[in-house]
Chain A
Amino acid sequence: MERELISKKELLDEKGISYGQLYRWKRKQLIPEEWFIRKSTFTGQETFFPKDLILARIDKIMNMKDDLSLDELADKLSPLLPAYEMRKSDLEKRNIVSSIVLQRFASEDASEIVYTFDILLYFYVVDKLLQAGEMSMEEGEHLLQTLREHFPKFETKPCDLVFIRKMGVSSFALLSVPVEMYFENGVKVVARLSMTECIEQLKGKLV
């Protein structure tokens, strides 16, 4: 999957930001290091960004920078798992994860049980794929297991979740990004999710 790139110059023009702002945000770690992609062009080295990611991020920064200091913003955007916790009943009430998922995968947990952020994240990812109609309930169970088993190993490194299917047999993989992947014929990539983005989305919902 080739990502569309945007050059630094185009980005500055399109968003009306200055070099200073861009470098400041980079220093404050609002823009992750791995989004700065260097490529040589006919005018020498140029920096490119993944277009969809950087545009969304800059909108987010511009929207929030009036209310929050840059350091607070960095906390919100950082890929570190925050210390948020939530009771199962609240989770259901606030509709962060649909009740179907909770019934199916967390029916034995009492409603006053407190989930840590990573567990919330797993439910959120499963819910997201189920809602998109890309995954069945049984597959959801496998996914949950995969995440529980392997996601903590990435610690703070960014990773992607890949969900593939061939001849009706599905499997999941977690990989650290950036990475390029090629499959044999007949393999269908059902979904590829950036866990970092999921963390951000979930954080946005919880706060």
Chain B
Amino acid sequence: MAEENRRDLKMIGETSTAGGIFRNIKVTGETVFNGDVDCVKLSHIGELEIKGGLRAEELKITGECDVQGGLAVGAVSGRGELKAESGARIEKIKFTGNIEVSGDCETGTLELNGAFNIPGLLSSERMEVQMFGSCKAAEIGGSNLRVRRSRKSKLLHLFKPGGPIELTADLIEGDTVDLEYTIAEVVRGNRVTIGPGCRIGRVEYRGDYTAHKSASVKESVRQ
């Protein structure tokens, strides 16, 4: 019944509005929503701030998006910066840029070219990250986890020096874990591949385990 009342919303320029329930939202420019937003599709260009939660089937970002409440989205795509300040639950992300989530970030598939900073849990069924900057999470869990350092990042680093391009986490757990340039205390998995530039405290594995010669692993235990 609520579905029929959904209307489209289009805004251009420096705008602010209350939240609400919409069908498609298209905003360009600097936009502030002062409450919860529930929509089918939200696409935006520019700066978007939502001072509430966001629930959407699709979110397309070009620019900056800052959500203060909970974020529950079916699919996220685009490039820029995504900030969620009280947790995120996203089915599918294909994103270029920086993701920052305070709280847990739970995803179905995560394809990211860029960097992330998640002080809680990052979980994903299929995670593929190309690191362009320093990535941080307290805990990473899921089934297939793959972390790579982008080849281009070295070049980029020359022009725009920042922190070291590596992933830092306390704990990484997955069925298949394939890491590069990662610093972690504990890595657990069925199949674990430790690539170049890793510094791992302890690896616990069940099936296969390989480590690159330049990686440092303090101890590895088969269970």
Contacts and interface: CB of A to CB of B under 8 A. Distances in A.
Chain B at the A interface: mostly helix, strand, loop or mixed?
strand
B202 interface: yes
Contacts of B123: 23, 26-27
Contacts, number: 49
A44 interface: yes
Interface in B151-179: 170-171, 173-175
Interface residues of A, number: 13
A22 B121 CA distance: 13
Given A43-B186, A44-B185, A23 B141 contact: yes
Contacts of A9: 188, 223
A20 B201 CA distance: 22
Contact of A43 (B106, B125, B144, B202): B202
A43 B175 CA distance: 20
Chain A at the B interface: mostly helix, strand, loop or mixed?
helix
A84 interface: no
B142 interface: yes
A44 to B, nearest CB: 5
Interface in A1-60: 9, 18-24, 26-27, 43-45
Contacts of A23: 106, 123-125, 141-143
A80 to B, nearest CB: 15
Contacts of B28: none
15 contacts: A9-B223, A19-B143, A19-B175, A19-B188, A19-B190, A20-B175, A23-B143, A26-B106, A26-B123, A27-B108, A27-B123, A43-B186, A44-B170, A44-B185, A44-B202
